[in-house]
A and B are shown apart, each in its own frame.
Chain A
Amino acid sequence: MEKLLNEISHEGLSGYSVPEIDVPHENIEKYIHKEALRSSEPELPQVSEPELRRHFTRLSHRNYSLTTHFYPLGSCTMKYNPPVNDKLSQLPGFADLHPYQDEESLQGLLELLYGLERSLCEITGMDAFTLQPAAGAHGEFTGLLIIHAYFKAKGEARTKIIVPDSAHGTNPASAALAGFEIIPVKSKADGCLDLELIEKTLNKDIAAIMLTVPNTLGVFEKEILKISEIAHKNGSLLYYDGANLNAILGNARPGDFGFDIMHVNPHKTFSTPHGGGGPGSGPVGVKKHLEEFLPVPKIEKKEFGYKLHYNIPKSIGRVRSFFGNVPVLIKAYAYILALGAEGLRNVSEQAVLNANYLLSILKKELPAPAGDRCMHEFVLSAKPCAEKGVRALDIAKRLLDYGYYAPTIYFPLIVEEAMMVEPTETESKDELDKFASVFAKILKEAADNPATVKNTPTTTPVSRLNEVEAARKPILKWADAPK
């Protein structure tokens, strides 16, 4: 157990040195009403720098991460994060800028952001991008506000969004936040849409269909061109959730399928580190007919350099302060520049090959409800094990014991005991083989002696945690803990 900061606190210690005050000392009470001042200091822990460094370093050792473990977390595209990109984003000429500096003193940054916008247009087949959204879900929300603004400008009151039941939870949540009603549609066993059902569901209230392609079962939506045709015939728009863009990178483009609007996840497709829960970023791309609704400001290239353009009357406004998650965008651009056209295409080819290879082995162990082929990821069902008492959750925990992060489990919701595996292109064949053999070993354990799988994990810093208790009696800060 690593103690908490308040447990290693000693009265009078501090980690950092207070800067010299080289101006006259002033009594703050002389200038600020007593009523506005704190009556006592905040009870922050008092820890020396050596102790702090050890504390946080030890904490870091209690994490599985991409640099220490294979992370086959489906839908999250946990690919290698090149350190050079981190380093570049931390150059003083990027990391230490003030957002309200004059444009003339930010030309290098604007040049980079503009270059990224243009590259994303080429990669996705869209006409324009905004880099402002701060995460994938934030991008979805931005996209939905654009859809809202588009129909408002057309004078059409379209209030509903079709979201398949195989979609990520962020899709319906983002649509609801933007004020839309959600029409969930049942997808087929492989997560693909039922064309007839979509045709029946479409009417003049439907503003858009949100799709993830390939879908969350790792299957490419075969009817995509037909769906695009009937959606547009109905006057509806087509939204592309970029969570699975890694599967088609450089080989095909959402814009060419007929999508009107989309977001990308640089922290998935473009290798920027996920940070244990952010920062991400969620650039949104649109076709020409939606460009005037993008957030402000827009970066424009002029003869004399780059300008920020604010006066866009139909814009939805700002979705984040300042420019967006700049360091993430720098890393994404560095990745795109390093790989180039051919490298980006290799990404999807290798990611799909790796996933299919792993599927070709693991489908012998557990049913794969979407079939023998997949794109960049696949879903297995641990239902046969669950029937004998070992659930997907147990298999996931046992994988931790063998030094693997677990696949995404219980998602997508349409597969019972789902285990969603995404190896990405940056894992070696040796690693895939090892993972497959460990997976098979665990299933054998489950058959022979379920307890060895159920009472897991055993090698992690803590054993299985009681999540029910955590929600029933919430302890959300150290002061809440029983003495």
Chain B
Amino acid sequence: MNYIPLTEKENKEMLKSIGIKDASELFSVIPSSSRIPALKLPKGMSEQRLVSTLEAMAKKNASLKDYACFRGAGIYDHFIPALVEEIVNRSEFSTAYTPYQPEASQGTLQAIFEYQSLICELTGMDVSNASLYDGSSAMAEAALLAVRATSRKKILVSSASHPEYRQVLRTYLQGTDIEVVEISSKNGFTSLDDARHKLGNDTAAVILQSPNFFGTIEELSSFRALSREYGALLALSVNPISLGALKSPGEIGADIAFGEGQPLGNHTGAGGVTFGFLSVKKELSWKIPGRIVGQTVDSNGRRGFVLTLQSREQHIRRERATSNICTNAALNALAGCVYLAGWGKNGIKNLALANFAKSRYAYERIIRIPGFSPAFEGQQFFNEFAVKTTKDISHLNKKLFAEKIIGPLALSGFYPEMADCALFCVTENRTKSEIDKMAEILERA
């Protein structure tokens, strides 16, 4: 297969128009010493064989369609309403490019404008960009934004925030003179004392996640007060669905809100493609990275939408741009838009409460099993919680897997000192019978 809609006859006509005999003449500018006769790759496939080949690979993976998933840690198994998929699969959206010609791209542009509006409502912030790659790059971009805004060079980040996000943050900053300092955590919370100890007038931002990697809802107002004292920005990583019930970053007084958009209508997809969201207070709007859509009028006074504040961007400012972002994750943000729009004001709250109720039930069920206990005293959580156990976690997970369950994440991988702790996630997608079945297996194991 090659998807080329031209015949040999037409190619000959084209060669004639160009004034050459053979298409190979067009490649004569390439040094002959570096031309290759053929790629050492297999022959092409028919569509039929392609489908069977990839289906065979897909079958070697354990799909969450066949396994009940109690694992979260940044990627969450939520139900995706059919409408979300229907819309993002419309080729008018999926096969368009970045909307450089706004008059021919009003569909994409209005949808992004609506996305920005929804993210601002949900996070309680003033300005949202059009999306970033994922939650981890959103953390790095939040840090860079804070450095630009404050002209300070130190970032404080909670050790209870997603470990992979912190890895990405460090990777992003390794060529710069920006210093990253981690705030320790205790009993599942970020340590306020340690933050106080490490904060200074050189700190650009304090970055926290809530609910944090252990599922704990942080006590954010004290961090807000503390960072203000030193003139540092507060950047919060949040689970967007939790904001149906939990206080928004805007209400808390954060300067930057960001996070992983996957829970909003995107497949778990082995962790990607997802999207990152980032919203800020008005004062920071010209410092924000990535695309932004704005409302304007056309020459007849009708409402329309365009990419705006473009003088921040790489195609105008080159090395002085606020970021290097060009292609981001528009289609995934569209999924987020259709998802949030469909839940609406009451729906998102009820969805959040369903997550809370189911995880609470699972928590109560699990900590009553002999050999299991809460990992932290008085942990307040949304849909994820850590549990301590005397049993071998990898053994437990093997047992669960055999019964078509993806069990909790062993925290030892990221936190060696928590070798006896496991992180459970329970979304609205889990049923009581699945939770009971899981608990029974834990009891027996």
Contacts and interface: CB of A to CB of B under 8 A. Distances in A.
Given A23-B361, A37-B246, A463 B54 contact: no
Interface string A457-469: 1001111111101
Contact of B99 (A32, A276, A328): A276
B344 A15 contact: yes
B393 interface: no
B196 interface: no
A353 B11 contact: yes
Contact of B107 (A18, A61, A357, A408): A61
Contact of B44 (A37, A338, A477): A338
Nearest to B87: A56
Given A101-B71, A460-B103, A93 B58 contact: yes
A43 B435 contact: no
B225 interface: no
Contacts of A137: 314, 324-327
Contacts of A141: 172, 324
B121 to A, nearest CB: 5
B17 A476 contact: no
A446 interface: no
A23 B93 contact: no
Contacts of A360: 17-19
A98 B92 contact: no
Contact of B338 (A22, A52, A222, A334): A52
Contacts of A170: 314-315, 324, 326
Given A94-B270, A321-B271, A169 B316 contact: yes
A37 B303 contact: no
Q: How large is the interface on B (under 10, 10 to 19, 20 to 34, 35 or more residues)?
A: 35 or more
Nearest to B211: A36
Interface string A14-37: 111011011111101001110111
A411 B314 CA distance: 13
A341 to B, nearest CB: 4
B103 A277 contact: no
A173 B428 contact: no
A269 to B, nearest CB: 13
A467 B310 CA distance: 10
Q: How large is the interface on A (under 10, 10 to 19, 20 to 34, 35 or more residues)?
A: 35 or more
B331 interface: yes
Interface in A90-117: 90-102, 105-109, 111-112
B116 interface: yes
Contacts of B102: 462, 465, 467
B97 A400 contact: no
Given A16-B347, A63-B104, A220-B30, A277 B247 contact: no
B226 to A, nearest CB: 16
Task: Choose among B33, B299, B409 the residue with the greatest number of A CB atoms under 10 Å from its CB.
Answer: B299
Given A23-B361, A278-B327, A91 B55 contact: yes
Contact of A182 (B275, B293, B319, B343): B319
Interface in A320-357: 320-328, 330, 334, 336-347, 349-350, 352-354, 356-357
Interface in B99-140: 99-108, 110-114, 116-118, 120-122, 124, 126-128, 130-131, 133-137
A38 B247 contact: yes
A225 interface: yes
Interface in A67-103: 67-69, 71, 73, 76, 78-84, 86-88, 90-102
14 contacts: A32-B245, A39-B251, A64-B105, A97-B63, A176-B320, A276-B330, A279-B332, A325-B272, A325-B273, A338-B45, A350-B11, A353-B18, A425-B3, A455-B299
Given A123-B39, A427-B5, 16 more contacts: A52-B342, A86-B89, A96-B65, A97-B62, A98-B406, A99-B74, A105-B61, A276-B99, A277-B328, A338-B1, A338-B50, A340-B43, A353-B23, A428-B5, A466-B297, A470-B296
